[in-house]
């Protein structure tokens, strides 16, 4: 049965949850009765936020650090094509957002002095990363879920697939949502929809992202004419644990901040040959350095060397990583950790203005799916959770300040064609697409490889249109269509970017 609500939130990561909490708290404080429907494709706990190890970049020590240093590091990492106004806003609001998180129950590691235990990561000029051991994202996700569940106005819906945004005459009317357990679909009408649907890492075979990160929000937005840019800026994390695990296990950048050194098969500290910051250069530089070493050495991975470090201190700082390495038989006093780049973070996405609004009235976006202008050509480590918090706050301010329009929905008609891909073929095609993207649209691309990707994606899209039309949505098939859509956006925008900058690199 179709229904109407005041606010729809699509996504249960830090962006969607913090927005819902703020909105619910505002309504409670002003004795307003509102309804907030929050939908997640998997369970509420599953999102990219959960997998973030490093932490949140936020200036705390104003004797050594400053907002200007953080701003300059962000601009430098982004190759100076960031929106400086947004960079300044995000960096300067960090203190207020961190204070809110602590009020909501988030615990960050502290030293014996009582001050925050600030880590340093690639591209940062100072120690400014707040963290909770090496599971910051998981602790943050859990704290936000505990908080959001205290509000009756927020209804949490797990295992609901959002196939399309409802748009008519440039205005958002809600979304078409399918309960994956019953496979029943319904229109949920609202004049305010927030896309907080996360990234696109699962379009690649080798990724640190969960399997649900298939770019659904970006594909939906693209279908209704929302502007999408910056898709050529896919960040590959330099140090994912090498192996067959999907998603790849992340070895946090903070490990290098702790003192670990990247070495090649000949035990050389090779990063210093590419950048004076060596292993702590920005991620685009380190990933390309590793890619070059792999090609020269004809190997599949390099090593993170920790043998010179105090292993007991390392274990205390990174218990999750230590346990993982131990489980696969690595003795970190003797063995290096085998690592290689993996698709990690989207720096582009849905274009929003300084208020979080898209070009469709009533449709907003924040978090990884949104292109706010903060990251430019490359994301500075641990700026993502900060961006999600600050920009969710901006969207919240927009939500409480706009005048809601009562939109007539009874006469609206939406014609959406569904197709069903045969189950065995579907898995084959998804894997084909993911392997193609990992092999040809990786850290360093070639013109020949890009043309091959484009041709294959055109064929896959054409094939999809030949599959049986069905009256009810097959979520897995529609997700595959979203993956094709996102991959084509990446491919097109890679070709449109004419010069190498940041994460975009085509070998001559």
pLDDT at 417: 79
Confidence of residue 53 (pLDDT cuts 50, 70, 90): confident
Calpha distance 455→244 (Å, rounded)? 28
Pairing outcome for strands 261-263 and 337-346: unpaired
Q: With cut-offs at 50, 70 and 90, classify the pLDDT of residue 52.
A: confident
- On the question of pLDDT at 321 being above 80, the answer is yes
The kind and range of the H/E element at 174 are strand 171-179
| Whole-number average pLDDT of the chain | 94
pLDDT above 80 for 409: no
Q: Is 243 helix (H, G, I), strand (E, B) or coil?
A: coil
Q: From CA 452, how far away is CA 14, in angstroms rounded?
A: 37
Average pLDDT over residues 278-292: 94
Q: Which two tokens stand for residue 270?
A: 């090779």
The answer for residues whose C-beta is within 8 angstroms of residue 473's C-beta and 6 or more apart is 161, 163, 178, 183, 185, 418
3-state class of 285 per DSSP? helix
Distances (CA, A) of 308 to 62, 240, 290: 31, 21, 21
| Distance between CA atoms of residues 238 and 341, nearest Å | 4
Set out the domains of the chain in order of their start, with CATH numbers.
246-344 (3.90.700.10), 418-496 (1.20.58.100)
At 410 the pLDDT is 66
**Verdict on whether the full-model pTM lies above 0.75:** yes
Helices (H), 4-111: 14-29, 67-77, 84-92, 94-103
- pLDDT (tens digit per residue) in 95-140: 999 999 999 999 999 998 999 999 999 899 999 999 999 889 899 9
The pLDDT of residue 79 is: 97
**Residue 362: partners with Cβ closer than 8 Å, 6 or more residues away:** 171, 172, 173, 190, 191, 192, 193, 405
Q: Is the pLDDT of residue 508 over 90?
A: no
How many Cβ atoms sit within 10 Å of the Cβ of residue 485? Answer: 22
Q: How far from 476 is each of 214, 421, 481, 488, CA to CA, in Å?
A: 11, 8, 9, 18
pLDDT in tens, 29-51: 999 999 999 999 999 888 878 78
Please report the pLDDT score of residue 195 as a whole number.
98
Q: What is the mean pLDDT of residues 76-95?
A: 97
pLDDT of 472 strictly over 90: no
pLDDT confidence of residue 444 = 97
Report pLDDT for 273: 95
**Helices (H) and strands (E) in the chain — how many of each?**
14, 20
Please state, in angstroms and rounded to a whole number, the distance separating the CA atoms of residues 333 and 310. 9
CA distance 37 to 155: 5
pLDDT of 108 reads: 95
| Whether the predicted pLDDT of 354 surpasses 90 | yes
Res. 429: pLDDT tops 80: yes
d(CA 306, CA 313): 11
Which residues have a Cβ under 8 Å from the Cβ of 456 and sit 6 or more positions away?
432, 436
Using the predicted structure, report yes or no on whether residue 3 has a pLDDT greater than 80. no
% of the chain exceeding 90 in pLDDT: 89
How far apart are alpha carbons 418 and 331 in whole angstroms? 51
Q: What angle do CA 87, 239, 430 make, to 5 degrees?
A: 90
How does residue 1 score in pLDDT terms, banded at 50, 70 and 90?
low
φ/ψ region of 122 (left if φ > 0, alpha if ψ in -120 to 50, else beta) reads beta
Tell me what pLDDT residue 505 has.
97
Mean pLDDT confidence for 237-250:
93
Strands (E), 309-400: 337-346, 349-351, 363-365, 370-371
Angle between helices 384-401 and 136-148 (to 10 degrees): 20
Beta strands 7-10 and 193-195 are: parallel
Using CA atoms, how far apart are residues 440 and 438, in angstroms rounded to an integer?
A: 6
- Token pair for residue 328? 């696969």
For residue 453, the model assigns a pLDDT of 98
Nearest to 346 by CA among 484, 229, 481: 229
Q: How far apart are CA 110 and CA 119, in angstroms?
A: 11
Residue 414 pLDDT = 73
Higher per-residue pLDDT: 191 or 2: 191
- Residue with token string 């640190």: 208
Distance CA 394, CA 396 (A): 5
As a whole number of Å, the end-to-end CA separation of the chain is 56
| Residue 50 Rama label (left phi>0; alpha psi -120 to 50; beta) | alpha
Residues identified as active-site: 283
Residues facing 470 on adjacent strands: 418
Rounded Cα–Cα distance for residues 213 and 200 (Å): 5
């Amino acid at each position: 049965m179709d229904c109407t609500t005041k606010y729809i939130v699509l996504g249960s990561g830090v962006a969607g949850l913090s927005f819902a909490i703020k909105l619910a708290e505002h309504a409670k404080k002003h004795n307003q009765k509102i309804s907030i429907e929050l939908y997640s494709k998997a369970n509420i706990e599953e999102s990219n936020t959960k997998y973030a190890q490093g932490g949140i970049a936020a200036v705390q020590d104003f004797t050594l650090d400053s907002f200007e240093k953080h701003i300059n590091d962000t601009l430098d990492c982004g190759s100076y094509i960031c929106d400086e106004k947004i960079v300044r806003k995000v960096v300067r609001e960090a203190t207020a957002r961190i204070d809110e998180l602590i009020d909501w129950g988030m615990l960050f590691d502290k030293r014996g002095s009582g001050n925050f235990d600030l880590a340093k990561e690639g591209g940062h000029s100072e120690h400014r990363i707040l963290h909770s051991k090496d599971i910051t994202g998981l602790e943050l996700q859990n704290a936000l879920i505990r908080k959001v569940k205290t509000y009756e106005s927020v209804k949490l819906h797990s295992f609901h697939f959002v196939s399309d945004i409802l748009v008519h005459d440039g205005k958002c009317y809600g979304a078409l949502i399918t309960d994956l357990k019953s496979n029943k679909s319904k229109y949920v009408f609202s004049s305010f929809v927030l896309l907080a649907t996360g990234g696109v890492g699962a379009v690649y075979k080798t990724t640190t992202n969960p399997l649900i990160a298939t770019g659904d929000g970006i594909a939906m937005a693209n279908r209704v004419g929302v502007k999408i840019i910056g898709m050529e800026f896919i960040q590959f994390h330099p140090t994912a644990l090498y192996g067959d695990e999907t998603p790849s296990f992340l070895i946090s950048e903070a490990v290098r901040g702790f003192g670990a050194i990247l070495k090649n098969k000949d035990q050389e500290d090779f990063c210093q040959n590419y950048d004076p910051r060596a292993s702590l250069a920005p991620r685009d530089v380190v990933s390309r350095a590793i890619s070059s070493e792999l090609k020269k050495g004809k190997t599949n991975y390099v090593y993170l060397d920790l043998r010179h470090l105090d292993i007991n201190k390392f274990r205390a700082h990174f218990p999750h990583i230590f346990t993982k390495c131990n489980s696969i038989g690595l003795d970190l006093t003797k063995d290096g950790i085998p690592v290689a780049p993996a698709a990690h973070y989207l720096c582009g996405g849905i274009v929003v203005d300084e208020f979080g609004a898209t070009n469709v009235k009533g449709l907003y976006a924040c978090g990884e799916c949104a292109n706010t202008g903060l990251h430019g050509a490359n994301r500075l480590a641990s700026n993502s959770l900060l961006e999600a918090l600050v920009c969710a706050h901006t969207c919240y301010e927009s939500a409480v300040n706009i005048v809601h329009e009562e939109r007539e929905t009874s006469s609206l008609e939406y014609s959406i064609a569904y197709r069903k891909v045969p189950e065995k073929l579907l898995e084959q095609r998804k894997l084909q697409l993911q392997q193609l993207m990992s092999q040809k649209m990786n850290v360093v691309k070639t013109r020949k490889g890009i043309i091959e990707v484009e041709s294959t994606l055109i064929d896959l899209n054409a094939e999809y249109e030949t599959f049986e039309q069905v009256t009810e949505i097959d979520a897995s098939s529609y997700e595959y269509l979203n993956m094709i859509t996102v991959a084509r956006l990446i491919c097109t925008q890679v070709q449109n970017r004419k010069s190498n900058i940041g994460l975009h690199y085509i070998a001559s």
